[in-house]
Every structure is written in C-alpha cells, then in structure tokens.
C-alpha cells in the first residue's frame, strides 16, 4: 500500500470482506456505486476460512468415515477403514481455497477495489487504512461496517495450545483421543459430532438445561439421543466449567454438575460459548455510532446506524451470528444506499445445525406464535413414513409445519432429519410468498424424494393426510 498524502475518494466503502461485506460490495457495485472494500485478513471472512465451510467439510469427512464403518445393515462391510487426517485437512483446505479465490474473482469482476489493511474512522466521511508499512486515507459518501465477530474467551480458560476455539479445532493436525467441549450450542455440537465420528471420546459441558437450546426440545432431543448412542460422547447439562490444568500433552478440566465437582482429562478443551462483535478497534466513538454495552451496533430497518451515512450488518448487529443473515443485510444496505426502498424482515431467515440428524427452523415455532397470540395449526409428518428416507436409511426425524388457523398461511416450519438444511429453503420461500398449506400440498413433488415430506406435512395441516392415519 502506498502512503497517500491525499485521500482517495470512493462512493461506498465496505469494511470487512466476509459473507456480509463482500456481498454488500458486489451488490453496491451492481447498482452503480464506485466501491472499495477493506479487509485485514483473508477474503471470505470467518465463514469461508475458519467457520461455515471448513467445519462442514470436516463434518462430511467424519460422516464418510462413520458410514464406511457402520453400513452392515445394508449388507456392506468394510475392513481396515482408516483416516489419513493430514489428507482430510488438505482436502478441507482445497475447498476453502476454491471459495476464497472465487470471492476475489467476483469482487474484481464487479470492479470493486480491494484494499488490504485495518480501517479506523477519522470522521463520518473518512477512514484511515493501515497495514504494517503504511497508511492511506479513504473518503466515502457511505460506509458499510461488516467486521464480524470473534470467539468469546472465558477468564478461567485462556486460549492456548491446548485451550482452543473453533478456529483451532478446525486446524488440528491429528485426531484427538479425547476432547472436552465447553458449550453445547450449534458450534460445539457440530464440531463435537465431527470428532466423535472420527473416534474421539467427546465430553460436552453445557451450563443451560440442554444442548441446542435455540431449538425446540423435541428436535434437540433427537440429536442428544444420537450422540449418546455413539458410545463415545458424554453430555453434562446444567454444568459449569470451573478451571483447567494444562500439561505438555493435555488438559484436566474441572466442572461442577448437580453440586458435585468432577474432572475429565483430554488432549484439548474446545471453548464454544458464543461470539463477540468486532467493533472495539474501529474508532466508532470518533463518529458517534451508537452501540449497546456488548458492543453491538444499533441499526434501523434499513441497516442504518445512528450516523446516517454509515451502515452496519452481520454479527456486529442484533440477531443470530449467521452468514446468510449477514449476506441478506448486506444486500439491503447496498440497495438503501442506491435509493431503493429496501428494509430488513427477519421472519424468513432460517437457522440450521449440521448435527445428527440435521436441524432447521424458519419463521415462527408453535410456542412463539402462541406467545404473540396467533392461533396456529402445528402439522407434523415423520421421516419414517417417507420412501426416500427409508431408502437412505435415514428415518430419524420429522417436519412440523406451522400455519395460521385463520387462513392457512404458512408462518413457520421446523425440520429434524436428513437434509433438513436443504429442505428448509422451500418453507422459507412459502413464508416470503405468503403461501398457504394448500399451495404447498397442490405443488407436485417428485417421488421418491425427501421433499415430499413438505407436501405431506401440508396435507396434514389441511386435515387430509395420505400416508399417515389421521
């Protein structure tokens, strides 16, 4: 980077090139803006480099290994199944590299200027971008902050070679024999499951009443049951992690459950207790951007902060830290800057856990609808009654469709089962389009597919199920 005596001018400056920032930059460029994007790390942010993508690659590899060892009921027996974890990590890295290089190509293809360095607000119309050698001031008409989040560190569990966060867990060189996971949310459950499938003895310590508390109990219970069935996963709920003793080759974790203090030895302890917004080193106080005590930036329905030409998206604003939420908000912010009447509506944003079985939810749950005084019908259809689920040997789970009693409009759905992560999109579309259960039921779904479960659940909602007894 060249030291600039004069500021470089741009229409829209985007800070952060994760799934929120790079999408915002591309959309702004498509809408005629001159766009500059600033990134201090790798393009693609946490999601592409050390989050969503590499974790799913690791989860897939774990599934392949587990399936190779346990397909006897299909008449398939494999002997001497082995894992070359170095090759697993190399393959995972190749997946990441393809996507991150793709992001760079997309940005350049849309004529977005890519600047490497850290951004610091000088005032509400300019930032100083610094790297190790130099600095340059950029003057903007509008700015979009998309700096993401980082793992929360517990005071008693300072990160080290043996006390790791999700990034460290994804970069292990060898499969640990034993792993302690503090936090039974979606990150802890996904990574704990991946390593359990590779043969690691996993202990999950969760302070709340259950794992995956963001999902309905009948959904999380399926995951909990399957984890316990593996025989190498121990789950402690209502348990508090107290301390850790580190040695050259492992850790001893002390935790308390039901008033009793226990210890467990492991190779590593993985801490997954949430994420903290990256808003503390941007100089936001310089320009008066309003934030909460937790460092979350306050925005309106158009992603605008308290400073009218500065926008914020993704993990640094209220809501779940989901990559697709950040991308969605990025498009909204870019369109608002371009003068379009866009605003955020979170009802159709799904949440997914790549557990066993997969969990997915969108819109209202039955309980949430009742809390808001909406009278609903909750229609359930089991995977066990679906031909494709049977042929996949994946009969664990169900779909629940939430429809308004007044008019039959779909306002929510929950899925626990194989490919729930893919199936939830149809329900998100139904909610966005204001479709009824009848609209879904009258849509011809290919046979045999898991997608038929959606049609069948809609028929249950209408009171005329075909493949289960009413």
- Is pLDDT above 80 for 10? yes
Alpha carbons 261 and 464: distance in angstroms, whole number: 54
State residue 330's pLDDT score: 98
State residue 81's pLDDT score: 94
Binding site annotation covers 126? no
Binding site annotation covers 56? yes
* CB contact at 8 A, 7 and 316: no
State residue 68's pLDDT score: 94
State residue 276's pLDDT score: 96
- Is pLDDT above 60 for 2? no
State residue 5's pLDDT score: 59
Write down the architecture of domain 8-149+276-346 according to CATH: 3-Layer(bba) Sandwich (3.50)
Using one digit for the tens of pLDDT, what is the confidence trace for 181-208?
999 999 999 999 999 999 999 999 999 9
Binding site annotation covers 319? no
In sequence order, the β-bridge partners of residue 271 are 182
User: What's 73-126 look like in SS3?
Assistant: HHCCCCCCCCCCHHHHHHHHHHHHHHHHHHHHHHHHHCCCEEEECEEEEEECCE
Binding site annotation covers 190? yes
Q: Is residue 236 annotated as part of the catalytic site, yes or no? A: no
* CB contact at 8 A, 200 and 170: no
Structure tokens belonging to residue 343: 């605003």
Just give the CATH number of 357-462: 3.30.390.30
Confirm or reject CATH 3.50.50.60 for domain 163-273, answering yes or no: yes
Domain ranges of the chain: 8-149+276-346, 163-273, 357-462
State residue 31's pLDDT score: 98
Residues 6+ away with beta carbon under 8 Å from 195: 62, 169, 175, 176, 179, 202
For a pLDDT cut of 90, what percent of the chain falls above it? 97
Binding site annotation covers 21? no
- Is pLDDT above 70 for 121? yes
Omega cis (within 30) before 9? no
State residue 133's pLDDT score: 86
Binding site annotation covers 274? yes
Binding site annotation covers 188? yes
Using one digit for the tens of pLDDT, what is the confidence trace for 135-151?
999 999 999 999 999 99
Torsion sign across C-alpha atoms 87, 90, 92, 95: negative
Alpha carbons 306 and 299: distance in angstroms, whole number: 7
Alpha carbons 188 and 179: distance in angstroms, whole number: 11
In terms of DSSP bridges, do strands 35-39 and 268-271 run parallel, antiparallel, or are they unpaired? unpaired
Q: If you average pLDDT over residues 343-361, what whole number do you get?
A: 97
Alpha carbons 104 and 115: distance in angstroms, whole number: 12
Q: If you average pLDDT over residues 229-252, what whole number do you get?
A: 97
State residue 180's pLDDT score: 98
State residue 470's pLDDT score: 82
Three-state secondary structure call for residue 285: helix
Q: If you average pLDDT over residues 161-189, what whole number do you get?
A: 98
Binding site annotation covers 186? yes
Binding site annotation covers 415? no
From the CB of residue 443, how many other CB atoms can be counted at a distance below 10 Å?
14
- Is pLDDT above 60 for 386? yes
Q: If you average pLDDT over residues 441-451, what whole number do you get?
A: 98
State residue 334's pLDDT score: 98
Binding site annotation covers 101? no
Query: How confident is residue 132, by pLDDT bands cut at 50, 70 and 90?
Result: confident
- Is pLDDT above 90 for 224? yes
In terms of DSSP bridges, do strands 149-151 and 163-164 run parallel, antiparallel, or are they unpaired? unpaired
What is the arrangement of strands in the sheet containing 359-363, beginning at the earlier edge strand?
351-353, 359-363, 410-416, 398-404, 376-382
Binding site annotation covers 148? yes
- Is pLDDT above 70 for 22? yes
Q: What share of the chain is helix, strand, coil (3-state, %, to 5)?
A: 35, 25, 40
State residue 6's pLDDT score: 87
Binding site annotation covers 184? yes
**Which one, of 47, 37, 255, lies nearest residue 167 by Cα?**
47
Q: Do domains 8-149+276-346 and 163-273 have the same CATH topology?
A: yes
* CB contact at 8 A, 286 and 269: no
Using one digit for the tens of pLDDT, what is the confidence trace for 68-120?
999 999 999 999 999 999 999 999 999 999 999 999 999 999 999 999 999 99
What φ, ψ does residue 201 adopt, rounded to 5°?
-80, 120
- Looking at 70, 236, 447, 467, which residue is catalytic? 447
pTM here?
0.95
Binding site annotation covers 149? yes
Please report, for residues 34, 62, 70, 398, the alpha-carbon distance to residue 389 in angstroms, rounded to integers and kept in the order given: 49, 21, 17, 11
Residues 6+ away with beta carbon under 8 Å from 29: 35, 110, 111, 112
Omega cis (within 30) before 27? no
Q: N- to C-terminal Cα distance for the chain?
A: 69
Structure tokens belonging to residue 234: 């121990």
Q: What is the mean pLDDT of the chain?
A: 96
């Amino acid at each position: 980077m060249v030291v600039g005596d004069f500021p470089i001018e741009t229409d829209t400056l985007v800070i952060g090139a994760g799934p929120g920032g790079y999408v915002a930059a591309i959309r702004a460029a498509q809408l005629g803006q001159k766009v500059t994007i600033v990134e201090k790390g790798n393009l693609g942010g946490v999601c592409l480099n050390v989050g969503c993508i590499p974790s799913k690659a690791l989860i897939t590899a774990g599934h392949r290994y587990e399936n190779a060892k346990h397909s006897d009921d299909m008449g398939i027996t494999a002997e001497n199944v082995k894992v070359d974890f170095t090759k697993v990590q190399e393959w995972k890295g190749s997946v990441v590299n393809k996507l991150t290089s793709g992001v760079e190509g997309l940005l350049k293809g849309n004529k977005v200027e890519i600047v490497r360095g850290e951004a610091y607000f000088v005032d509400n119309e300019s930032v100083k971008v610094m790297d190790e050698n130099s600095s340059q001031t950029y003057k903007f008409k509008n700015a979009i902050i998309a700096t993401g989040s980082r793992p929360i560190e517990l005071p008693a569990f300072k990160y080290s070679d043996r006390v790791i966060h999700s990034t460290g867990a994804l970069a292990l060189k060898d499969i640990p024999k034993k792993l302690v996971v503090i936090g039974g949310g979606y990150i802890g459950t996904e990574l704990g499951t991946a390593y359990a499938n590779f043969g690691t003895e996993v202990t999950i310590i969760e302070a709340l009443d259950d794992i995956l508390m963001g999902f309905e109990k009948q959904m999380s219970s399926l995951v909990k049951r399957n984890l316990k069935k593996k025989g190498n996963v121990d789950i402690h709920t209502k348990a508090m992690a107290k301390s850790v003793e580190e040695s050259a080759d492992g850790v001893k974790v002390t935790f308390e459950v039901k008033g009793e203090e226990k210890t467990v030895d492991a190779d590593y302890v993985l801490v997954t207790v949430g994420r903290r917004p990256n808003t503390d080193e941007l100089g936001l106080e310089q320009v008066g951007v309003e934030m909460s005590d937790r460092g979350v930036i306050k925005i309106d329905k158009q992603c605008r902060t308290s400073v009218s030409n500065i926008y914020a998206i993704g993990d640094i604003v209220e809501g779940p830290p989901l990559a697709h939420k950040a991308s969605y908000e990025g498009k909204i912010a870019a369109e608002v800057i371009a003068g379009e009447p866009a605003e955020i509506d979170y009802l159709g944003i799904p949440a997914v856990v790549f557990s066993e079985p997969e969990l997915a939810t969108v819109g209202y749950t039955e309980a949430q609808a009742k809390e808001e005084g909406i009278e609903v019908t909750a229609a359930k259809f089991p995977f066990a009654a679906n031909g494709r689920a049977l042929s996949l040997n994946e009969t664990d789970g169900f779909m629940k469709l939430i429809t308004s009693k007044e008019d039959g409009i779909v306002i929510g759905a929950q899925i626990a089962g194989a490919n729930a992560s893919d199936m939830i999109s149809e329900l998100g579309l139904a909610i966005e389009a204001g479709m009824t259960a009848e609209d879904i039921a009258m849509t011809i779904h290919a046979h045999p597919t898991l997608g038929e479960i959606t049609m069948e659940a809609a028929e249950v909602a209408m009171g005329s199920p075909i493949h289960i007894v009413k």
